[in-house]
Amino acid sequence: MRIIGGKYRGKKLLSPQSAAVRPTSDKAREALFNILRARLGNDFSKLKLLDVFTGSGAFGMEAVSQGFAEVAMIDIDLSDAKKNVALLPQEKNKIKLLQGDACKIVSHDEKFDVMFMDAPYNKGLSEKALVNMIGWLSDGALCLIEVEKNEECTLPEQYKLLDTRRYGLAKVIIAEFLCQNL
């Protein structure tokens, strides 16, 4: 596992200790950052990313490397993410690790412009977490929701479906969060 672009391109990340943690593949991460660039432009320096069910933290680390202003990582178990964050000590002020259940964690005043969510497959957690994350997102936030390729994921009414892409065993739902639908 490595960072595929930006300031730390090629930097190796530590693989997860648990077989239950399934990092997004390098190829899929690269494709998703290309989608972010196509929709948001090349300058991420004013954007904040929320990485939900962060696991190893690979997606959030990629966001830091590619210039996001801030990254918050949420997971019940942050042990793998902490190890990878420690590989970039000079970026510690840009990264927040938030331990908790993404389906229950209480929101705060800070809003995020982009959300990446990669819940454990086929457990129905994505829909629950999407509802819970409503208080975390800016109006118009771009949301990338990774699920297993055959998994059904019904978006809550506050999310507008933009596109769906498949990457191997994964399907990524691309949606926009709309505050006016609250």
What confidence tens digit (pLDDT) does each residue in 12-47 have? 988 866 555 566 777 888 899 999 999 999 999 999
Grade residue 100 by pLDDT with cuts at 50, 70 and 90.
very high
Residue 182 confidence (pLDDT) above 60: no
One CATH from 3.40.50.150, 3.40.50.2300, 2.130.10.10, 1.10.10.10 for 6-12+20-181: 3.40.50.150
- So what's the pLDDT on residue 107? 74
| CA–CA separation, 90 and 62 (whole Å) | 15
125: left (phi over 0), alpha (psi -120 to 50) or beta: alpha
SS3 for 27?
A: helix
| CA–CA separation, 118 and 90 (whole Å) | 26
Domain ranges for the chain: 6-12+20-181
Q: What is the pTM of this model?
A: 0.93
Phi, psi (5° rounding) for residue 16? Answer: -60, 145
**Percent of the chain whose pLDDT exceeds 90:** 80
Give the orientation angle of helix 58-65 with respect to helix 26-40, to 10 degrees. Answer: 50
